Amino acid sequence: MFIKYIVVGALAFAMLSGCSDNSSSNTTASAKVDQSKSSADLGKNAIQVGKDYHSFANPESIKVTHLSLDLTVDFSKKVLLGTAQLDFQRVDPKATQLILDTRDLTIEGVTSMGKVINYDLANADSFLGAALTIEIPADANSVVISYQTSPNASGVQWLTPEQTAGKKHPFLFTQAQAIHARSFIPLQDSPQVRMTYEAIIRTPKELLAVMSASNEPDTERDGVYEFSMPQAIPSYLIALAVGDLHFKSMGERTGVYSEKGILNAAAEEFSDTESMLIATEKAFGPYSWDRYDLLILPPSFPFGGMENPRLSFITPTVIAGDKSLVSLIAHELAHSWSGNTVTNATWRDLWLNEGFTTYLTYRIMQMIYGDERFEMEAVLGRQDLQADIDSLPANDQIMAIDLRGRDPDAVFSNIPYEKGALFLRELEHKVGRENFDQFLLGYFEKFAFKSITTDQFVNYLEQTLLKDHSAVLSKQRIEQWIFQPGVPADAPIPESYAFSVVDEARDAWLAGSIQAGEIDSEKWVVHQWLYFLNNMPEKLSQEQLVDLDKAFSLTSSKNNEIAHSWLLISVNNWYQPAFTRLHDYLTSIGRNKLVKPLYKALSQTPEGKVMAQKAFTEAKAGYHPLTVKTNEGFVQ
């Protein structure tokens, strides 16, 4: 037994190390990690398809089906406290224990049918939290847990009044994906467990609570708010925000919540949301979630957006004044189909959520804004993907990634997003758009309100597209996309005519044949500026930087994406005139995608590290726990 284990372990090690070559984007036969056949080849080390390695819960024995929350929001103590009632079904009729996920929760007691019952809270794992095992009476079908959260809950950010736009009232928001719901609710925190929920949220009177559920914009502000989510959703989509929120309608089914100061700007910026919703329904099937509203959060929100059902959570950093960054809205809206309706069964299958959503995002942008915008965004997305392929180890370039023993937060990349989208675009090109859209319609219908694995998707593909289009599709090619690193040779290559003029201008300027001021850039849109900046050589001279900044006022750009690209160039070339802006940027924005590359670049030199430490120390109190976790390594 012992010897067998070693042999298997060595084989697994050899196979894994055989694919650590990340120098080329195309894979060769000798550098393969074939997870689909891993059970036979790797024995003990095989991934168990469909097993959620990020939850202690036991839905295979007892499955939670409904959650009722009654929570008080205590801003002075920074805790949520109250009760969670969980209704469950026995999958195994003999099951006697309900196992839940928790993180940093204080459990005050558990009852069932009015009687106190026994439970055990295990020691905490470093990133999974602590299993809560509840002894279930034979005739029970629900339990009530009294608990409170920790002020440091990983999925909750508490903002002081000073950290909000209005400066008068505190603010709170949750972010559950991937495994943070357990830090504010004891539950089966796995995307394969779907539940309906209802909630009573008690807040200070003058504040409004909103959730990923039915929201009543005109509800009386009395500090007691009731919600219900009648469709079964996975735990990572449970969300709550509380603040001095106001509402503005944008259309029949769409509207926006935010603090008053940015409400009008947000409603203007995102005024195409209703058209996006209508166009997406027309192409990909009915919207299943009643309303679609947006909640604009304070700038510390660690993501661009989060697809909480009926109410996407959105960073304010995309309010640019010209709708240039609204593909984010298309993305979160698209999740209403890919992700919220058809859900990944485990975090290994995240690409089913994000890849499909990224593909749909491009399609929505094309429908609403036309081919040129679509092409530019596709090229920028392909470049983001390439950057990750050039820098990530081979195993992390696999769409169906092996996350065993890893914190999903630490593995965030463009692979599930842009590689997933490129794969779907290849399928579309091979079978034709009409056929592919038919396929997508059928897929969303077939797996509606289910959580599925990559393997289930491949099976479905085999029974549908692959069967009908065997002349142009092969299973081997599909498996290469999903289970191998890199991008297969002859993958689609996005192109944009609008970018070729940018390339010409950049080339001429780099060659010294023109000054920056002579570039005919008056009509350039934000995407062209991003392409212009993102494709500069690594090293530029101080004269070149001054020339660019003088001509285009990049240091004071109000577009947060352009500012990001410019600040990154400035750090990498030690362009000091931009450093005041850099400090302001790092201390006023908490969106990881925008700040992490800057901290990382700063951490490369001792002088840079000093600046990073200064900004981080100043900003830390206002950063979300995830932004702290992601960046603190760069300033140590």
Sheet holding 305-306, edge to edge: 246-249, 254-258, 292-296, 311-314, 305-306
For residues 330 to 369, the per-residue mask of contacts with Zn ion, x marking binding by CB under 5 A and - elsewhere, is ------------------------x--x------------
The secondary element (H helix, E strand) that includes residue 157 is: strand 156-159
Number of residues that bind Zn ion (CB under 5 A): 2
Q: Which is nearer to ligand BES, 79 or 325 (CB)?
A: 325
What is the number of other CB atoms lying within 10 angstroms of the CB of residue 525?
14
Calpha distance 184→245 (Å, rounded): 22
In whole angstroms, how close is the CB of 291 to Zn ion at the nearest point? 20
Residue 303 site contact among Zn ion, ligand BES, none (CB < 5 to 8 Å, cut-off depends on kind): ligand BES
Q: What is the DSSP letter of 8?
A: H
**Of residues 170 and 416, the one with the C-beta less far from ligand BES:** 416
Residue 298 DSSP code: P
Interface residues with ligand BES (CB under 6 A) are 177-178, 303-307, 328, 331-332, 335, 354, 417, 593
In three-state secondary structure terms, 265 is: helix
By the 8 A CB rule, do 499 and 376 touch?
yes
Cα–Cα distance for residue pair 358/371, rounded to 1 Å: 16
User: Could you give the string, one character per residue 135-164, with x where binding to Zn ion holds by CB under 5 A and - elsewhere?
Assistant: ------------------------------
Nearest distance, CB of residue 303 and Zn ion, angstroms: 9
Chosen from ligand BES, Zn ion, none, partner binding at 67 (C-beta under 5 to 8 Å by type): none
- Smallest distance, Å, CB 332 to Zn ion? 7
The residue length of the chain stands at 636
CA separation for the pair 181, 369 (Å, rounded): 36
Could you tell me which of 598, 597, 635 has the C-alpha nearest to residue 618? 635
From the CB of 337, what's the least distance to Zn ion, in Å?
12
CB of 513 to Zn ion, least distance (A): 42
Please choose which of Zn ion, ligand BES, none residue 506 contacts, taking the beta carbon within 5 to 8 angstroms, the exact cut-off set by kind: none
Choose among 152, 292, 302, 180: nearest CA to 238: 180
E strand or H helix that includes residue 475: helix 475-483
- Residues taking part in catalysis: 332, 417
Residues 6+ apart with CB under 8 A from 363: 283
Nearer to ligand BES, 198 or 402 (CB): 402
- Least distance to ligand BES, CB of residue 354, Å: 6
Strands, E, within 235-341: which ranges? 240-243, 246-249, 254-258, 292-296, 305-306, 311-314
Type of residue found at 53: Y
Maximum CA pair distance of the chain?
83
Chain position whose Cβ is nearest to ligand BES: 304
Quote the CA–CA distance of 355 and 339 in Å, as a whole number.
Answer: 10
Which residues, 6+ apart, have CB-to-CB distance to 443 below 8 Å?
342, 460, 464
List the single partner that 417 binds among Zn ion, ligand BES, none, CB under 5 to 8 Å by kind.
ligand BES
**12 versus 562: smaller Cβ distance to ligand BES:** 562
Asked whether the CA dihedral 500, 503, 508, 511 is positive or negative, the reply is negative
Q: How far is the CB of 177 from Zn ion (least distance, A)?
A: 9
For residue 553, is it left (φ>0), alpha (ψ between -120 and 50) or beta?
left
To Zn ion, the closest distance from the beta carbon of 381 in angstroms equals: 13
Return d(Cα 35, Cα 39) in angstroms, integer: 8
Q: Which CB atom, from 21 or from 407, has the smaller least distance to ligand BES?
A: 407
Closest to ligand BES by CB, 244 or 354: 354
Nearer to Zn ion, 186 or 316 (CB): 316
Choose the one of Zn ion, ligand BES, none that binds residue 596, judging by a C-beta under 5 to 8 angstroms depending on kind: none
Min separation Cβ 508 and ligand BES, Å? 32
Give the containing element (helix H, strand E) for 85: strand 79-90
Nearest to 489 by CA among 567, 422, 416, 442: 422
For β-strands 130-135 and 224-234, DSSP reports them as unpaired
Q: Which of 65/383 has CB closer to ligand BES?
A: 383
| Gyration radius from the chain CA atoms | 25
CB of 118 to ligand BES, least distance (A): 34
Is residue 360 helix, strand or coil? helix
Q: Left if phi > 0, otherwise alpha if psi is -120 to 50, otherwise beta: which for 66?
A: beta
User: Which residue, 310 or 506, has its beta carbon nearer to ligand BES?
Assistant: 310
CB of 331 to ligand BES, least distance (A): 4
DSSP state of 163: G
Which residue's CB is nearer to Zn ion, number 259 or number 354?
Answer: 354
Both structure tokens of 522:
């008056």
Q: Which does 178 bind (CB under 5 to 8 A by kind): Zn ion, ligand BES, none?
A: ligand BES
Residue 212 vs 357, nearer CB to Zn ion: 357
Find the helix or strand (DSSP H, E) in which 89 lies.
strand 79-90
The span from the CA of 300 to the CA of 172, in Å, is 11
Other Cβ atoms less than 10 A from the Cβ of 555: the count is 20
Q: What residue ranges bind Zn ion (CB under 5 A)?
A: 354, 357
